Structure 1
Amino acid sequence: MSKQYILIFAKTTYAKTPYDQWLAGTGIEPIILTPEEYASGYRHLPQVHAFANYDHNQLVEKTALRLGRRYPLVGVFARAEADVIRAGQLRDALDLPGQRTASALAYRNKVIMKDHLRGSGVLLPDYRPLDSAYTAIQFVEAHGFPVVIKPQAESGSFGTHIIHDERELDSYLANAQRGNLEIETFVDGQMYHVDGLIIGGKIAFIHPFKYVNDCLSYRKNEFAGTRTLSSTDPLYQPLIDTARKVLGALPSPSNMAFHCELWHTKTGEIVFCEIASRTGGGMISSNIVYSFDLNIDKEWLLAECGLAQPLGPRAYRPGGGVVIPPLNGVLEHLPRGNEPEYVREVVFTSSEGQRFHGGVKSGLFLAGYVIAGDSEEEVSTNMFGVADWFAKSAKWQLST
């Protein structure tokens, strides 16, 4: 049997996604396209192509198309937000199975996804594309403050602005960059997310999580994190039911990880925020490995290769994930080796001596932790505990 290949847009370290190990014994070889900073981890593989400015470098697409025409591909794999559309476009160009461009846009563009959800029974904020200051003013006149302005296609709350009054609107408009933006009504509620995996057109795994702090915590130099929700929680099933409605209304591919964010309002409604056709960022996927003994990325990859395995019932233990943003200054000491006893996994993305300028987005962090506890409430307590321990243990030369 001749060798087959899968082309992988690999915007992760090898330690997180050892694709060759996951494919060992299958006869399928990974072809890796990756940012320069991650390339060293994959260098032992025969086919590794590294790129500077990976997210915006269109030589990534050119190289992918050339390789796709040269090697017999069983498919294309992309787990990061930056790669969702470029992977869909490549599948279109090569007529390969998997998520195509139209589906990728529905899961990437916040206006397109909400347009799909109209009439589905899923509650939505009022929204519209934001093309000018005139639109912003008219939207505020129609709906009042506060409003939210954000990019149509970004992740990790990057570029999100909550506008509370006329003064903040003027400040935003004085410095705003034009582009593909969306304006929507502010939803006052607790944020949750539902993550899962579709295999063969059916939901093979689904579970809700609660945000501890919020998605914009990094702007206040505070940790962000989420924890599992118990099946006895009154919101457990309503959150899952809403996520199922969302998935049913969107053009979903046969195999896909998903990360769906929802608000629970003070009046008891569940309102849609957004959804992505990828694995959750931060420590979410690591939390799922700990809490359910399930590596979504691995199972998704095997499904894209036509090698899907039955997942079966999953054992459950409460868990959470904490991501800690950098401060504004030089990191002099990164605490390691003496973490609190409830820490189950540690991920560092940087090292001592580096200069930072504070948090950039919720998915870009300095340190990440998977947290254990005997109950969901204890997990929450321990999440604050590890953040407090880190703040007291790390040493910074702060900038003014």
Structure 2
Amino acid sequence: MTDIAVINYNPRLDYQAVFPELAERLHVFSHHELKNTEALARYEYVENCEAVPYAELMIRRLAREKPFTHIITDNEYDLERVARMREDLGIPGQSSASARSFRDKVVMKEVAGRAVPTPRFARLHTIVDLTDFIDACAYPVVVKPVKQGGSRDITVLRGEDDLIEFTRRAWREDLMVEEFVEGRMYHIDAVLADGYRFVASSRYLRSCLGVFSGQNNGSLQLRPDDPFARRLEEFFDRVLDAFDTPEAGAYHLEVFHTPQDELVLCEIASRVGGDRIPALTRATYGVDLHAVSLRLMCGLPVDPPPAALPAEVHGSVSILPQGRPVRIPGRPPFPWVRHYEVNEQAGPDAVTLHSASHLCFVIVAGADTAEVERRLFEAEDWLMANLD
């Protein structure tokens, strides 16, 4: 019999629906409280699951009684410990070395740099490493943790005043620096396995770092027959060829398109893209990135990816927390709005903590990227005008 251990992050994942044929063989340890868990072999909500070792301890102890055939996770921050358990228990899947190459941004750029352009970068041990890098590369530079996500704790240093201010903060032991790259940022989201290939390209509405200066965040899809989408897919393939990858996996790649028409790697992760990306993918392609990737990791069948071109593509824009009480408006009154959702967990004084922070978000549809972009700005203007 197939027994599967899961460390879950997504608060909306329904494992009974994702794995209907073997829900009673799933042992799920979750970062968030889940619904519809009665049929699972085991379910535990683990408070602060990313930081505490309880889930790993229990999975290892359960494996003594009945070996697992698979250990899986949907959470980027759990990739390395899940890989470590697999190796110790002789279970197939992504290796520790592979997981680290996608998690540690210095290692990631060392690997990817064999195949594609990357920004110049360096790991930081002391402030001298940072000043030496600035002397060599000049301002602006980007300082960030090597294993963080969602644009958290990123600092752009544009000059000496920024550097002086940065040195007044507590030094972290997990930092890197890289040169600032001008240009629009695109993302490629994919699920790959033997006999299965789904790849979709999109563009961020604005820089992900813009949320920290008050800019609303969003994403809009490229049509798969767009020549630039094909160029991005070729770039993605070149990047992935440089990595040791598992037999089945999900990937989220971010890439700069510079004013000189060059594609430069920002980052790649071996997990499903966050924010509204899964919802946009379902709306356009009917592909559930989480369900498909998790089933493929366990060797289970999935429907083939769509062969026909989509009738429309989609985009989303998220309205940032304002740091003060506001009246959140209702659904924008436009026929091309496909979904509108309010973040019920956001308090009245919520502030922006990461690139996915939001009070509400809207998903719109259009014939192509340009139409989607126009509609996103129209919906955004309406929401902002009706926010107070």
TM-score tier after normalising by the smaller chain length = over 0.9
Within 5 Å, give how 1:177-216 maps onto structure 2. 177-200=171-194, 204-216=197-209
Greater strand fraction, Structure 1 or Structure 2: 1
SS in structure 1 opposite 2:208? coil
1:249: how far off? 0.2
The aligned counterpart of 1:61 is: 56
Select which of 266, 271, 284 maps to 2:264: 271
The code of the aligned residue for 2:14 comes to: P
Q: Does 1:384 align with 2:377?
A: yes
The code of the aligned residue for 2:57 comes to: K
SS in structure 2 opposite 1:123? coil
CA contact 1:261–1:273 (8 Å) conserved in 2? yes
The code of the aligned residue for 1:206 comes to: V
Within 5 Å, give how 1:58-97 maps onto structure 2. 58-97=53-92
The aligned counterpart of 1:257 is: 250
Deviations 1:194-225 (A, max 9, x none): 1101112x661112111101201221333211
The aligned counterpart of 2:386 is: 393
- Partners of 1:285 and 1:225 lie apart in 2 by 13
The code of the aligned residue for 2:26 comes to: P
Within 5 Å, give how 1:125-274 maps onto structure 2. 125-200=119-194, 204-274=197-267
Select which of 293, 299, 309 maps to 2:302: 309
Deviations 1:101-135 (A, max 9, x none): 11111111110111112332x00111010111100
Q: Which moved more, 1:142-151 or 1:322-331?
A: 322-331
Question: Structure 1's 232 and 302: CA in aligned 2 closer, same or farther, altered over 3 A?
Answer: closer
TM-score after normalising by structure 1: 0.90
In structure 2, runs of 5+ residues without a counterpart are none
1:232: how far off? 4.7
Query: Aligned pairs, how many?
Result: 385
CA contact 1:199–1:308 (8 Å) conserved in 2? no
Deviations 1:21-43 (A, max 9, x none): 121134663222112xx315244
The aligned counterpart of 2:364 is: 371
SS in structure 2 opposite 1:329? coil
The code of the aligned residue for 1:30 comes to: L
SS in structure 1 opposite 2:139? coil
1:326: how far off? 1.5
CA contact 1:326–1:357 (8 Å) conserved in 2? yes
Deviations 1:304-340 (A, max 9, x none): 2211335142542211132333121245x43345654
CA contact 1:42–1:48 (8 Å) conserved in 2? no
TM-align CA RMSD: 2.1
1:341: how far off? 2.8
In structure 1, runs of 5+ residues without a counterpart are 396-400
Question: Structure 1's 268 and 58: CA in aligned 2 closer, same or farther, altered over 3 A?
Answer: same
- Partners of 1:368 and 1:67 lie apart in 2 by 41
Q: Does 1:281 align with 2:274?
A: yes
Q: Does 1:10 align with 2:8?
A: yes
Question: Structure 1's 371 and 68: CA in aligned 2 closer, same or farther, altered over 3 A?
Answer: farther
The aligned counterpart of 1:21 is: 17
The code of the aligned residue for 1:302 comes to: R
CA contact 1:196–1:203 (8 Å) conserved in 2? no
Question: Structure 1's 24 and 266: CA in aligned 2 closer, same or farther, altered over 3 A?
Answer: same
Q: Which moved more, 1:40-49 or 1:170-179?
A: 40-49
CA contact 2:15–2:23 (8 Å) conserved in 1? no
Q: Does 1:319 align with 2:314?
A: yes
Q: Which moved more, 1:163-172 or 1:298-307?
A: 298-307
TM-score after normalising by structure 2: 0.92
The aligned counterpart of 1:398 is: none
CA contact 2:332–2:383 (8 Å) conserved in 1? no
The aligned counterpart of 1:105 is: 100
- Partners of 1:340 and 1:314 lie apart in 2 by 27
The aligned counterpart of 2:46 is: 51
SS in structure 1 opposite 2:364? strand
Question: Structure 1's 26 and 156: CA in aligned 2 closer, same or farther, altered over 3 A?
Answer: same
SS in structure 1 opposite 2:318? strand
The aligned counterpart of 2:28 is: 32
- Partners of 1:163 and 1:53 lie apart in 2 by 32
CA contact 1:210–1:228 (8 Å) conserved in 2? yes
- Partners of 1:70 and 1:223 lie apart in 2 by 50
SS in structure 1 opposite 2:315? strand
1:239: how far off? 1.1
- Partners of 1:290 and 1:101 lie apart in 2 by 34
SS in structure 2 opposite 1:76? strand
Select which of 268, 273, 295 maps to 2:288: 295
- Partners of 2:333 and 2:28 lie apart in 1 by 34
Question: Structure 1's 169 and 27: CA in aligned 2 closer, same or farther, altered over 3 A?
Answer: closer
Question: Structure 1's 237 and 389: CA in aligned 2 closer, same or farther, altered over 3 A?
Answer: same
CA contact 1:109–1:152 (8 Å) conserved in 2? yes
